[in-house]
Amino acid sequence: MALTDFIVSFLCVSAVSAKCITDIDNAKIDLEAYIDFKIPDINPRFRLHYHVTPPVGWMNDPNGFSYHDGEFHLFYQFYPYDSVWGPMHWGHVSSPDLVHWNQLPTALLPEKEQCFSGSAVSVGDTMTLMYTAHEVTDVEPFYNESQYLAFSDDGVYFYKYDGNPVLPAAPNGSPDFRDPKVWKYGNEWYVVLGSKTVDKRGRVLLYKSKDLKEWEFLSVLGESQGDMGYMWECPDFFELDGKFVLLMSPQGMQPEGDRYKNTFQNGYIIGSFDYESNEFHPEVEFQEMDYGHDFYAAQTAEHKGKRYVVAWFSMWEVPHPEDVDGWSGAMTIVRELKLIDDRIVMKPLEEMLELRHHTVMHGRLRPQEVTRLPQATELIVDGNIRQRIELFLQGVDGGGKVWVRWDPAAGNVVVDRGAGDIRQVEWSPIGTTTWRIFLDASSLELFCGEGEVVFSSRVYPLGGWKLTNLSRQSLKIEAYHLKRSVPA
């Protein structure tokens, strides 16, 4: 069944007025028809096999990452009508296991407001979205941001709350007031929001509510002292292994050596928090969450005691080579989070093993030896880390290339896309020294050891991957062809 037919059927079933389909419902039907019409025009050369991507058009931040009524849900910033940023919608996928994903109809369409980022929670059988309404104004800075609610009785069709906005303005009047992340503690709801001070320092604000509609400002949960950027976007706040984590995306941080080299950053502060005082006390300073080129706006979800994270697998103000193919942007694979000592480690889900279709290689790759790999491949690499390790990955038919290196003298892992486009970080293994590399049609995700160092970088090879061992040592290689787990 096409999405268009599906949306017509559930809209009619869900209708509560004498008129079966409203104007906004018609707009949703038209949009799904447009998506169905445009999908055949997508060039598949860089289309990912097991990462969430938009069906057409543009994708950025993950939104509403949650578990509801037996399934995981992931929404995302979406502009369907071009492969560049435009008036924001909410795209929507669901999954039984965070690995296999189903495309669902677009959840939110802009009206007078653009539908910026937010989160999702379950209130009984109702799924509730809280998102930022970004509205253009006539007064400088020519926009305003407030918080809206939307509801769904079936997890698919959403309607906006008549009483919006539920949070009309930041306490200091800043127009930058966005990206609500909601959770429940006891009998009350809490939300963190990204904002800034009047002198342009990033901050995160904390509120609470009994009903998600009337909110009380509690505290400034965290704030830049002038060295951590002018705006803190996409905040998340959660307990992990006995500590509290403030996760956010600072804009405007200056590079410091190998750190903070992306356009904007994504990272976290570890500390303690008291629900009586509503104060967060940092204990470990800001750390980047992922050391690759393309990781932003990470959002977490909790289910059965496990904390998961997913991020936008791209970056602002950089080329997006897939945009000429009718789409742009992706999500990273979902990772499970653990707190070990003073840092978060990220590991691929066990369910990723289900994607292994067949073994491509299981043996040793000698120095200068070359092997070909499918577009969607999982690599497990073992070598002697007392010696240099270097892998060269390029397209069978040209296109993008990347070097992955371990330098024992410097103690650094390096991901190098050429022409000086390098990301690197010190690695001190806490257990295994194995690398696990997930390759897709236009991406690379490298997990070192127990996941204490992770790189997520977009790379655009043509015709599958060609792997060369540039090390002076033979490397033990396992390679598996991975099955598709997202819509083609």
Domain boundaries, the chain: 42-348, 356-482
CATH architecture for the domain at 356-482: Sandwich (2.60)
Burial degree of 456 (CB within 10 A; 0-12, 13-18, 19+): buried
Q: How big, in percent rounded to 5, are the helix, strand and coil portions of the chain?
A: 10, 50, 40
pLDDT class for 399, splitting at 50, 70, 90? very high
Strand, helix or coil for residue 226: coil
Identify whether the C-beta of residue 237 lies closer than 8 Å to the C-beta of residue 221. Answer: yes
Look at residue 2 in the predicted model and tell me its pLDDT. 56
- The CATH architecture of the domain made up of 42-348 is 5 Propeller (2.115)
Closest CA to 175 of 213, 234, 133, 208: 133
Check residue 353 and give its pLDDT: 98
Instruction: List active site positions.
Output: 61
Percent of the chain exceeding pLDDT 70 equals: 96
Calculate mean pLDDT across residues 281-292: 98
CB 249 within 8 Å of CB 273: no
Token look-up 């268009």 returns 4
pLDDT on residue 340: 97
Helical ranges in 15-152 per DSSP H: 23-38
Instruction: Write the pLDDT tens digit of every residue in 429-459.
Output: 999 999 999 999 999 999 999 999 999 999 9
**Rounded CA gap, 98 and 118, in Å?**
19
Cα(337)–Cα(308) distance, integer angstroms? 6
Q: What are the C-alpha distances in Å from 305 to residues 289, 336, 340, 350?
A: 21, 11, 16, 15
Query: 416 is written with which tokens?
Result: 């190098």
3-state secondary structure 263-314: CCCCEEEEEEEECCCCEEEEEEEEEECCCCCCCEEEEEEEECCEEEEEEECC
Going by their DSSP bridges, the two strands 57-68 and 327-328 should be labelled as parallel
Rounded Cα distance between 230 and 314, Å, is: 21
pLDDT tens digits for range 181-206: 999 999 999 999 999 999 999 999 99
Long-range contacts of 361-365 (CB under 8 A, 24+ apart): 361/477, 361/478, 361/479, 362/477, 362/478, 362/479, 363/476, 363/477, 364/474, 364/475, 364/476, 364/477, 365/467, 365/469, 365/474, 365/475, 365/477
Model pLDDT for residues 143-187, shown as the tens digit of each residue = 999 999 999 999 999 999 999 999 999 999 999 999 999 999 999
Cβ contacts of 252 within 8 Å, gap of 6 or more: 202, 229, 230, 231, 264
Cα(171)–Cα(221) distance, integer angstroms? 13
321: left (phi over 0), alpha (psi -120 to 50) or beta: alpha
The token duo for 444 is: 């690379």
- Confidence at residue 22, expressed as pLDDT on a 0 to 100 scale: 84
pTM above 0.85, yes or no: yes
* Nearest-10 Cα torsion for 212, 215, 220, 221: -20
How far apart, in whole angstroms, are the C-alpha atoms of residue 226 and residue 222?
Answer: 12
